[in-house]
């Protein structure tokens, strides 16, 4: 065979190189992933920094700015989503506000105080304690000026202490007295076939009257009129004494209603009509320049002042080996652990969690006395009884004082009566010793829909008070006996704790509400006073001089806003509560028309949801009617 020369043979194709495109893609993906991680880390670092409190330096020649929006809570609650609205993660508490005013009186850096009206709301007991602190602030030789553009009785109640009060030309302050309003749904519910079987002990226990009456009962009306009368007299006498106004003339003016700035000026309720810029730039500066060395002044908000004051080293000598625990009991009383309960927007008292605080304070050797700061309308009978038992065990080891705030009634009073000493403010709403149940019946509603209920049961008792069937008389009688036994124990414990006979205690019970002043007079409380009174009594009991500072151990401790925020992002920790939350916030999210409802309707519906949730678990409650706050 003929050999072909190598030069004539076709050249062999070079080996094909494998593509490395995936390496480039991997590098790009890696860079993108690292960038994404760094971006997320940076975002959370910035976000976390926003939650952290910034250091506050209190300068000389400072004027304290008092304006607290919203409902004034007893203790600082953590609001992790407040960042989204530009607010801090912690609310301003009643104790923060009270402490700030009292500290500022002795603080040489503080020249005076500027009060600005806002939408602050609270009960009359808290309002009186704050006003008393403002009056005491002036005794330190410092000024107070107030500016009112919009507001009502509570805003003017605070402002009346000031050296001067200013309003803008078109300002509007509603001064026309106090009122209680409620909505009664009996006929509305009957139109759709829903009826409520209400069992109350006794005639004054009116928490469920909204669902089985068309108006206030004579007993509820009597009790409310007495509370309103007591509040109105205090308000009138206080503002007249501060402003030098004749009581009779002020009473006549409030009955007509006072609203506009010119009318308030003519009646001497305010001092001048000026824009706020004039008050800040002229009046505050003039007051701050009484000393020629004080040429400038700084306006500092109360929350910032509290934060900055706490950073001053060695400001106060504090006794550390004798501490006092302050345990807050605010809101509706519910059975169980706080973490296992629905996500309520308002503060609540979870019986097991509250009992845990009592145990911790009882076991801590440094804590020598305990103050229970109570601001609760009651709620669950089982929760109240569980807490009562724990207080009884605690007081065998350490003295326990009850300090009543705006409301300490029904289940709230149940807690207080277990303490060694009960301190109540004259304007506290207390008493309401009684129990109540309101069970809806839907049998007529089903009939209107042509729906029928059939049953299979092992015994007639298995259908006890079934809301889908007409209630039988024997069931109503049986339920009456069950409720009566709970009420009997309530009154017996009142009699034992207050050293009364059963008839004496029952005469003060019957579900009737009392002012704190009346409660001291009739023996349901020991002495009149506010939080400071309770603190002074506890200090005296454990041998601390009156003027000596003492360390307070607060329960519950405010949660770090960042940790609270991260919990919201953890589905395993937050999913249960998110699913079961049904407060006003949940209603607002579910129905866009919620914010436009009158406040009375919103408050009543939210309160009804609380009671409905409780009623699913226990039929008999120790709850106060839903009374309004002052705005």
What is the 3-class SS of 512-527, one letter each residue?
Answer: CEEEHHHHHHHCCCCE
State whether residue 30 is helix, strand or coil.
Answer: helix
| pLDDT score of 1 more than 60 | no
- Residue at which a domain ends, from 247, 282, 310: 310
Do 384 and 413 contact (CB within 8 A), yes or no? no
Q: What is the mean pLDDT of residues 165-190?
A: 91
Which tens digits make up the pLDDT trace of 327-382?
999 988 999 888 766 666 678 899 999 999 999 999 999 999 999 999 999 988 99
Q: Rounded CA gap, 120 and 117, in Å? A: 8
Do 120 and 70 contact (CB within 8 A), yes or no? yes
Q: Rounded CA gap, 64 and 109, in Å? A: 10
Residue 66: count of CB within 10 angstroms of its CB: 24
Nearest to 160 by CA among 65, 254, 64, 238: 238
Specify the pTM. 0.83
Q: Are residues 303 and 324 in the same domain?
A: no
> For 340, how many CA atoms within 13 A lie in the half-sphere containing its CB?
8
Report if residue 203 sits inside a domain: no
Q: Are residues 103 and 135 in the same domain?
A: yes
How many domains are there within the chain? 2
- Residue at which a domain ends, from 286, 310, 334: 310
From the CA atom positions of the chain, what is the Rg in Å? 31
For 192, 216, 542, 614, the CA distances from 545, given in Å and listed in that order, are: 65, 50, 9, 45
| pLDDT score of 3 more than 90 | no
Report if residue 431 sits inside a domain: yes
Predicted confidence at residue 45, as pLDDT, reads: 54
Q: What is the mean pLDDT of residues 314-329?
A: 81
Predicted confidence at residue 175, as pLDDT, reads: 93
Q: What is the CATH number of the domain that holds 347?
A: 3.90.226.10
Q: What is the mean pLDDT of residues 238-263?
A: 94
Q: Are residues 389 and 538 in the same domain?
A: yes
- SS (HEC) of 11-67: CCCCCCCCCCHHHHHHHHHHHHHHHHHHHHHHHHHHHHHHHCCCCCCCCCCEEEEEC
Q: Are residues 296 and 401 in the same domain?
A: no
Share of the chain above pLDDT 90, in %: 48
For 201, 276, 302, the CA distances from 63, given in Å and listed in that order, are: 52, 15, 10
- Residue at which a domain ends, from 310, 327, 351: 310
Residue 593: count of CB within 10 angstroms of its CB: 8
Q: What is the mean pLDDT of residues 121-139?
A: 93
Q: Are residues 293 and 322 in the same domain?
A: no
Contacts of 385 (CB under 8 A, 6+ apart): 414
Q: Are residues 342 and 296 in the same domain?
A: no
The arrangement of strands across the sheet holding 258-260 comes to 150-151, 172-175, 258-260
Predicted confidence at residue 584, as pLDDT, reads: 52
Q: Are residues 283 and 401 in the same domain?
A: no
Q: Rounded CA gap, 225 and 286, in Å? A: 45
Dihedral angle sign, alpha carbons of residues 454, 455, 456, 459: negative
Predicted confidence at residue 289, as pLDDT, reads: 67
As a whole number, the mean pLDDT across the chain is: 83
Report if residue 580 sits inside a domain: no
Identify the band that residue 298 occupies on the pLDDT scale cut at 50, 70 and 90.
Answer: confident
DSSP character for 311? T
Q: Are residues 381 and 416 in the same domain?
A: yes
Instruction: Copy the structure tokens of residue 380.
Output: 């669950």
Predicted confidence at residue 319, as pLDDT, reads: 76
Do 415 and 402 contact (CB within 8 A), yes or no? yes
Which tens digits make up the pLDDT trace of 541-579?
999 988 888 899 999 887 655 555 555 555 444 444 433
DSSP character for 17? P
Contacts of 138 (CB under 8 A, 6+ apart): 144, 161, 163
| pLDDT score of 613 more than 90 | no
Share of the chain above pLDDT 70, in %: 78
Q: Which domain holds residue 488?
A: 318-458+468-560+611-623
Report if residue 111 sits inside a domain: yes
| pLDDT score of 535 more than 50 | yes
Q: Are residues 411 and 268 in the same domain?
A: no
Identify the band that residue 15 occupies on the pLDDT scale cut at 50, 70 and 90.
Answer: low
Q: Are residues 395 and 540 in the same domain?
A: yes
Report if residue 27 sits inside a domain: no
Report if residue 616 sits inside a domain: yes
Q: Are residues 323 and 306 in the same domain?
A: no
Q: Are residues 302 and 328 in the same domain?
A: no
Report if residue 263 sits inside a domain: yes
């Amino acid at each position: 065979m003929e050999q072909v020369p190598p030069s004539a043979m076709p050249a062999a194709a070079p080996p094909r190189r494998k593509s490395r495109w995936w390496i480039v893609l991997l590098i790009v993906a890696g860079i993108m992933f690292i960038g994404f991680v760094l971006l997320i880390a940076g975002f959370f670092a910035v976000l976390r920094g926003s939650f952290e409190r910034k250091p506050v330096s209190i300068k000389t020649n400072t004027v304290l700015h008092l304006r607290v929006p919203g409902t004034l809570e007893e203790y600082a609650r953590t609001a992790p989503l407040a960042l989204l609205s530009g607010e801090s993660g912690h609310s301003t508490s009643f104790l923060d506000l009270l402490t700030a005013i009292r500290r500022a009186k002795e603080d040489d850096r503080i020249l005076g105080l500027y009060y600005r009206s806002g939408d602050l709301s609270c009960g009359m007991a808290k309002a009186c304690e704050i006003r008393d602190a403002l009056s005491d602030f002036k005794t330190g030789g410092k000024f107070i000026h107030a500016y009112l553009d919009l507001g009502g009785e509570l805003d003017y109640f605070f402002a009346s202490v000031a050296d001067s009060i200013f309003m803008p030309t078109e300002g509007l302050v509603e001064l026309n007295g106090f009122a209680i309003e409620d909505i009664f749904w009996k006929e509305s519910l009957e139109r759709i076939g829903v009826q409520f079987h209400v069992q109350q002990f006794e005639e004054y226990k009116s928490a469920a009257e909204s669902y089985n009456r068309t108006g206030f009962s004579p007993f509820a009306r009597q009790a409310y009129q007495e509370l309103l009368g007591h509040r109105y007299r205090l308000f009138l006498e206080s503002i007249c004494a501060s402003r030098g106004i004749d009581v009779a003339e002020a009473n006549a003016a409030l009955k007509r209603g006072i609203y506009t700035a010119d009318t308030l000026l003519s009646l001497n309720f305010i001092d001048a009509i000026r824009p706020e810029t004039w008050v800040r730039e002229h009046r505050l500066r003039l007051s701050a320049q009484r000393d020629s060395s004080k040429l400038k002044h700084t306006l500092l908000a109360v929350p910032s002042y509290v934060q900055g004051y706490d950073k001053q080293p060695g400001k106060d000598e504090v006794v550390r080996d004798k501490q006092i625990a302050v345990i807050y009991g605010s809101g509706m009383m519910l059975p169980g652990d706080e973490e296992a309960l629905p996500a309520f927007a308002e503060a609540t008292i979870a019986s097991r969690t509250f009992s845990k605080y009592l145990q911790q304070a009882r076991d801590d050797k440094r804590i020598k006395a305990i103050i229970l700061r109570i601001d609760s309308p009651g709620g669950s009978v089982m929760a109240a009884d569980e807490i009562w038992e724990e207080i009884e065990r605690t007081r065998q080891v350490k003295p326990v004082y009850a300090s009543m705030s705006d409301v300490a009634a029904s289940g709230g009073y149940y807690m207080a009566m277990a303490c060694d000493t009960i301190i109540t403010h004259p304007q506290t709403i207390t008493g309401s010793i009684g129990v109540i149940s309101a069970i809806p019946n839907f049998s007529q509603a089903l009939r209107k829909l042509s729906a029928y209920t059939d049953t299979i049961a092992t015994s007639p008792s298995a259908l006890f008070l079934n809301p889908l069937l007409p209630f039988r008389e024997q069931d109503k009688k049986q339920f009456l006996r069950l409720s009566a036994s709970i009420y009997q124990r309530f009154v017996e414990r009142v009699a034992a704790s207050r050293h009364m006979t059963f008839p004496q205690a029952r005469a003060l019970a019957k579900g009737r509400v009392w002012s704190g002043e009346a409660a001291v007079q009739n023996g349901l409380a020991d002495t009149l006073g506010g939080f400071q009174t309770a603190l002074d009594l506890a200090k005296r009991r454990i041998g601390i001089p009156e003027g000596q500072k003492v360390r307070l151990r607060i329960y519950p401790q405010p949660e770090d806003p960042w940790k609270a925020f991260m919990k919201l992002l953890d589905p395993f920790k937050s999913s249960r509560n998110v699913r079961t939350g049904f407060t006003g916030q949940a209603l607002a999210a579910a129905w866009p028309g919620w914010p436009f409802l009158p406040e009375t309707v919103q408050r009543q519906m939210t309160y009804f949801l609380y009671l409905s949730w409780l009623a699913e678990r226990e039929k008999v409650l120790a709850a106060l009617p839903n009374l309004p706050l002052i705005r």
